[in-house]
Amino acid sequence: MATRTVTIASSVGLHARPAALFVEAASSSGLDVEIAKPGEDPVDATSILGVMALGAKYGEEVVLTADGDGADETLDELVALLSRDLDAE
């Protein structure tokens, strides 16, 4: 299982548009991807409700995990996505 930690760069956190873009990217990978705040239970990264309920705010760290072929590449792409201010784009 591959794991990455990333700091949320979107000014509104992982809410609304940034969450939708993240969920879309996680879903398109075809892998089992989870996201969690450190020390909290992970949620399915392909669930918009789960991701938004996580309540990840700007500047907070989240931990991504994925399992399967291409997990490292998928997580690298998701980290790159969350490292950008998606609201400013």
CA torsion angle 69 34 8 84 (round to 10): 30
The residues with which 32 forms a beta bridge, in sequence order, are 67
Look up 15 and say whether it is catalytic: yes
Start-to-end Cα distance in the chain? 31
Active-site hit among 6, 8, 14, 15: 15
Going along 15-58, which residue ranges are E strands? 32-36, 43-44
Active site residues: 15
